[in-house]
Structure 1
Amino acid sequence: MTQLSTFSRRQFLAGVGASALTLPSLTDAFGNPLPTAQPGRKLGIALVGLGSYSKNQLAPALQQTKNCRLAGIVTGTPAKAEEWMKKYDIPKANVYDYKTFDRIADNKDIDVVYVVLPNSMHREYVVRAAQAGKHVICEKPMAIMPQECQEMIDACKKANKQLAVGYRLHYEPFTQEAMRLGQQKVFGPIKFVESSDGFRIGDPGQWRMKKALAGGGPLMDVGIYAVQGARYVTGEEPISVTAQFGPKTEPQKFKDVEETLFWQFQFPSGAVSNSTTSYTAGVERLYASCQDGWFELSPAFGYGPLKGRTSKGPIEKPIVNHQAMHMDGVCEVLLQNKTLPDHITGAEGMRDVKLLQAIYQAAETGRKIDLKA
C-alpha cells in the first residue's frame, strides 16, 4: 500500500465494490450500486478444517451466499464428517480427510478450497489445493513467515489458480466507510490512529497458545486486524515500527506465546498509529484523529454488528453477514474469469506477514525497525 496503491479507488471499486451483498439496493463506500448474484451455477467451496470459525461462521454464511455454496469438507474427525454430511446434505464423495485430500483434484463439484487451519498449516494446504487445480481462499494471517507466503503465491501462479486471503472486513460497509473517510481525507489529513484488538482467551490448551502452530500469540491472531486497520484508514504503508511486549501477568498460561503486545507505526504522510493486541483483556477500536475532525469504529473488527461515529455524528450503514459478503465477492470475480483485486490476494497477505514479523523483531530487540527497504 504505497500511498493508496493497494486501496486505490480503481481497485477498491473493482474489488470491494464488486461484492454481492444480501440486498441488491446496497451501495459500496463510494455510493455505487452493488451487483446482484451472477447468473448460472454457484461455485462449490470445500472447507478445510471444521473448527469454530468454519462451524459458527463460514458454514452458516454459505447458506446465505448467491455466488457460491458449501460443496465439500476436509476433516480428520469422522464424527464431524457424519455430522456435517447430515446437517448440510454433503455427499460422501465430497468428504475428505487429510490423507485423501489430494483426491479433491478429481472432484469437479469443488471449485474453491477454503483453508481454515492453524497458521502453521496454511502453506501446505494452499500449495496442495493449487496443485489439485483449485482456486484457494486462505484464512489470515496467510502464514507465519514471508517465505511461506511467497511459496503459496508461486504455487497458485504455477497452477494458474487464484489465491484470496480471508479479509472479510474489506467487504463490510462500516469498514468501507472508514477507508473512504481516511483515504479521501474527508476530515483532512490523518494525524493519529489508534487500532487495537484483543480479548481474554479461554482454553490454554488450544492451538492458538502453541507457538509451533500459531507462530505467536495474539499478534498472530487478532493483532492482524489492528495492523490492517491502521493501513487501510491511512491508505499508506508504514515506514517504521517500534514495539514492546506487555508483562506476563499469567506466566504459566503464557509460557509459549506473548500475552500482550504494543506497537507504533510511522507513515510517509507523518501520521502515526498506536496499537495493542492482547489475550488477557478486551479491546476493539479503530480511531482516527484528523486535522478537521475524527472518526471511529467500535466495535471495529469482530463479526458484527460493527458501529461507527464521526465528529459530525453517527455512521449509518447496513448490518450484513461479513463472511457471506467476502465469499460472494471473491467468487463473483472468479465466475467472471477476472483477476482478484490486489487488496485481498496473497500479495496483501504477505505484506501483513512481513509487518507482523517486523513487530516481533522490534519488540525483541528494542529497536526501531526501518520498513522502507
Structure 2
Amino acid sequence: MDSRRDFLQKLTFSAIGLPFLSLSGSTLTEAFYKQPYEGPVLRVAIMGLGSYGNRVAEAMQSCKRAKVTGVISGTPSKIKDWQSKYGIPAKNCYNYENFDRIKDNPDVDAVYVITPNSLHHNHVIRAARAGKHVICEKPMAVNAKEGQEMVDACNKANVKLLVGYRMHFEPKTLEVIRMRQAGELGKIMFFQGLSGFRIGDPTQWRLNKQLAGGGSLMDIGIYSINGARYMVGEDPVWVTAVETKTDEVKFKEGVDETIQFQLGFPGGAVASCLSTYNMGNLDRFFLNGQDGFAELQPATGYGPIKGRTHKGELTQPHYTHQTIQMDEMAGIILDGKKPVVPVDGEEGLKDLKIIDAIYLAAKTGKKVDLKL
C-alpha cells in the first residue's frame, strides 16, 4: 500500500454518487441538491495533480457551489490530461514557477494546495500574496511556526485560509457531535483514536523527512489528533507520548513509525491515541460519556463511515466527502457561513501545536503542557 490515501480508499467502500438527503448538523439540505442553483460558484485551481488531487476534482463534478477552473502542476502531461477531462483553458494552467501570475486571473477565486507537507508553507503564502483564498490539505504545515506564518500571510492579504478537514462535514460524525453537544452522552470522560496502516513503497515522499516533516503522525495520526478535539469538544491542555520503531531502515531518523500519545482536557476527559505506519486496519474512534457512548469504525475513511451509539446504529446518509466539503467551503468563502466544526487556519494551527508537543513529549519522555 503506497499511501494513506490508498489505505483510506481500500478500507471502505468507494463513494458513488451524492445522496439527496438532509445532513444532520450541516447547512446542506435535500432541497439544496434537488433544486436548481443559480447563485455564486467558487472557482478553484487545484495545485498538485496526484491521487488526492484527482479525487477532489472528481468529487467536485457533483458540487453545485464549487468548480475546478484551473490547475497548477510541475508535470505538463498531467496538465494536458486535466485540460481534456475538465475543460480547463490553457490560460488557467500554471506550473510551480509561474503560478504567481494567477493574481491576474479572474477565473480563479481560490487555490487548493494538495502538495507534499513541506511545500504547503511556500505555496499557501504565494497564493495568498496573489490575492486568492486558500484551501490547504492537512497537516497545514510541518510545524506550528510555519503554520503561524501562513495564517499571518493570509490575514495580511485579507484572504481566507481553510484546511481540508473533510470529516468536519461528514453526517455520522456530525451526529455524534450533536449528541455530545445536546448532553445525550453526559459528561465526556474518555476518547480513543486509532489511526494506522502498513505503508508500502519505502521511496515515497511520505517516508522522506524533508518532504513529509515526520512520519505517521503527520499523515494518518493527525486524524486522531483532530478527532479527539471535535469529539470531546475541547482543546487539550497537556500531552504525553511514546515512540516505537521496529524498522530503522524504512523509518529513518525523523520519520516516526508508531507513536502512542495521550491528551488531557480541561473538563477532566482524557484521550488515548495510536498513530502508526506499521499496523493494519486501524481506523476507530470511541467516545465515552457518563450517560452513553459513540463509536465510529471506520471513522475517517472515504466512506461510508459506520457507527453506533448507546441508542443504536447511526443511519445518516453517506455523502462523497470531498463533494460536500467543497460545497460547504464555498459557503464559508462566498457567504461567510460558520461550520459546526471550524476548518480555518487557526484550527489547523492548533493541530500543529499539538503535533509539535507530541514529538517533544516522545523525545523527552516528559509531560508537555499545551496552550492553544
Q: By how many angstroms is 1:181 displaced? A: 2.4
Q: By how many angstroms is 1:212 displaced? A: 1.1
Contact 1:164 1:340 in 2 (8 A): no
Contact 2:195 2:223 in 1 (8 A): yes
Q: By how many angstroms is 1:340 displaced? A: 5.6
Q: Specify the alignment match of 1:304 in structure 2.
A: 303
Stretch deviating more after TM superposition (46-55 or 26-35): 26-35
Stretch deviating more after TM superposition (279-288 or 82-91): 82-91
Q: Specify the alignment match of 2:209 in structure 1.
A: 211
CA offsets per residue over residues 281-301 of structure 1, 9 Å max, x none? 121000012212211000001
Contact 1:222 1:277 in 2 (8 A): yes
Q: Specify the alignment match of 1:366 in structure 2.
A: 365
CA offsets per residue over residues 56-103 of structure 1, 9 Å max, x none? x20111111110111111110111111111122211111110111111
Q: Specify the alignment match of 1:250 in structure 2.
A: 247
Look up the equivalent residue of 2:178 and give its one-letter code. Answer: R
Contact 1:162 1:340 in 2 (8 A): no
Q: Structure 2: where are the runs of 5+ without partners?
A: 1-16
Residue pairs, 1:42-53, within 5 angstroms: 42-53=41-52
Q: Specify the alignment match of 1:184 in structure 2.
A: 182
The count of residues paired between Structure 1 and Structure 2 equals 350
1:167 is the counterpart of 2:180: no
Q: Specify the alignment match of 2:233 in structure 1.
A: 235
Q: By how many angstroms is 1:143 displaced? A: 0.6
Corresponding residue SS for 1:199: strand
Contact 1:197 1:225 in 2 (8 A): yes
Q: Specify the alignment match of 1:12 in structure 2.
A: none
Contact 2:21 2:317 in 1 (8 A): no
| Aligned mates of 1:153, 1:305 — CA distance in 2 | 33
Contact 1:180 1:233 in 2 (8 A): no
Contact 2:23 2:316 in 1 (8 A): no
Q: CA RMSD in A?
A: 1.9
| Aligned mates of 1:34, 1:157 — CA distance in 2 | 35
Q: Specify the alignment match of 2:68 in structure 1.
A: 70
| Aligned mates of 1:101, 1:32 — CA distance in 2 | 33
Runs of 4+ in 1 over 4 A off after TM superposition: 21-25, 30-35, 339-342
Q: 1:48 to 1:32 in 2, by over 3 A?
A: closer
Q: Specify the alignment match of 1:333 in structure 2.
A: 332
Q: By how many angstroms is 1:173 displaced? A: 0.3
Q: Specify the alignment match of 2:318 in structure 1.
A: 319
TM-score, normalised via structure 2 length: 0.90
Q: Percent identity?
A: 49
Look up the equivalent residue of 2:248 and give its one-letter code. Answer: P
Q: Structure 1: where are the runs of 5+ without partners?
A: 1-20
1:286 is the counterpart of 2:282: no
Corresponding residue SS for 1:299: coil
Q: 1:152 to 1:31 in 2, by over 3 A?
A: closer
Q: Specify the alignment match of 2:79 in structure 1.
A: 81
Q: Specify the alignment match of 1:222 in structure 2.
A: 220
Q: By how many angstroms is 1:311 displaced? A: 2.0
